[in-house]
Structure 1
């Protein structure tokens, strides 16, 4: 992550404040609005990596039920908003085309890590810089599996609260980044992350005043639905 900006703006699910989340339109919009990196969620279903946050398709598409109950053709037929399809990981990477860094969040643990590693290995072979990729997850065993399979790609540990050992678990994973909810950020966590050589990112921050406050505190970046506000 050597070319990552000192303070990094990450478009959350593309730029979900402006376009349907986890779609090609959201990713393109995030780039257009100046996001340094784009974050999106990936699930493995029917042998393909799909961009989808929820385990069900009800909230973000015109379909119903669990994503993993659908076949690829059924997922292809879904409308993810404004006529947008549910894209695959390959389609997302081809659209971004290294115009921004890419943060892929593993949402499932049914072989998702191995599937994402297979895809990324091809893009690395084609010249995509490893430091322009970040794979993250709340499910740390799946994240560890990915790290074992493709150690050249940096990983990011997502946490809901503050671990007892502060940034320790992320460091033990070999992570480059610790990402934490804005409600749990404090000076000690920031200092501990930096002392362990980790960047600290905060999710999900949409108000400019909060962005400024966190930057002054010393966080290294933030996820936002509105990259233009940052």
Structure 2
């Protein structure tokens, strides 16, 4: 049984349950692959995340997570690219980056 049919079975049980499709290679039509899987969220490996891919997935109404993002520079890069969230093994670093960014924004914005 494929992951796609598992998602359908989950959605049949309760349509409010969110499902995630993970992409670690870039298919020809990533939006179609994710929509066919009936996923609500896409988790994209950092090696294939791009501004264009994020734009396509957002235009299809999907939330985009980047995985696995474990260092400050990569976290900042993906925040700037526009991902909706990150998957990390280092929440301490991620929280520090977010806190620092919020402090900078408070100082820069009236």
TM-score normalised over the length of structure 1: 0.38
Distance 2:22 2:12 in 1: 18
Q: After superposition, where does 1:84-103 map in structure 2 within 5 Å?
A: none
- The reply to whether residue 220 of structure 1 matches residue 47 of structure 2 is no
Could you list the structure 1 runs, at least 4 aligned residues long, displaced by more than 4 angstroms after superposition.
none
Report if aligned partners of 1:190, 1:218 keep a CA contact under 8 Å in 2. Answer: yes
- The reply to whether residue 185 of structure 1 matches residue 46 of structure 2 is no
Distance 1:185 1:145 in 2: 29
Structure 1 residues 105-124: Cα deviation after superposition (integer angstroms, max 9, x where no partner):
xxxx6xxxxxxxxxxxxxxx
Which moved further from structure 2: 218-227 or 146-155? 146-155
Q: Which of 103, 126, 148 is the equivalent residue of 2:12?
A: 148
- Give the 3-state SS of the residue equivalent to 2:58 in structure 1: helix
Report if aligned partners of 1:202, 1:222 keep a CA contact under 8 Å in 2. Answer: yes
Q: Quickly say closer, same or farther: Cα 1:163–1:148, change in 2 above 3 A.
A: farther
Q: Per residue, is there more strand in 1 or in 2?
A: 1
Consecutive unaligned residues of structure 2, counting only runs of 5 or more, are 95-110
- Give the 3-state SS of the residue equivalent to 1:192 in structure 2: helix
Q: Per residue, is there more helix in 1 or in 2?
A: 2
- The reply to whether residue 195 of structure 1 matches residue 59 of structure 2 is yes
TM-superposed CA distance for 1:171, in Å, is 2.1
Q: How many residues align?
A: 94
Report if aligned partners of 1:167, 1:178 keep a CA contact under 8 Å in 2. Answer: no
Give 1 or 2 for the bigger CA radius of gyration.
1
- Give the 3-state SS of the residue equivalent to 2:30 in structure 1: coil
TM-superposed CA distance for 1:225, in Å, is 0.7
TM-score normalised over the length of structure 2: 0.76
Consecutive unaligned residues of structure 1, counting only runs of 5 or more, are 1-108, 110-137
- Give the 3-state SS of the residue equivalent to 1:170 in structure 2: helix
State the partner residue of 1:42. Answer: none
Q: Which of 25, 42, 45 is the equivalent residue of 1:161?
A: 25
Aligned alpha-carbon RMSD (Å) = 1.7
State the partner residue of 1:172. Answer: 36
Higher RCO (CA < 8 A, seq sep 6+): 1
Report if aligned partners of 1:181, 1:202 keep a CA contact under 8 Å in 2. Answer: yes
Structure 1 residues 39-62: Cα deviation after superposition (integer angstroms, max 9, x where no partner):
xxxxxxxxxxxxxxxxxxxxxxxx
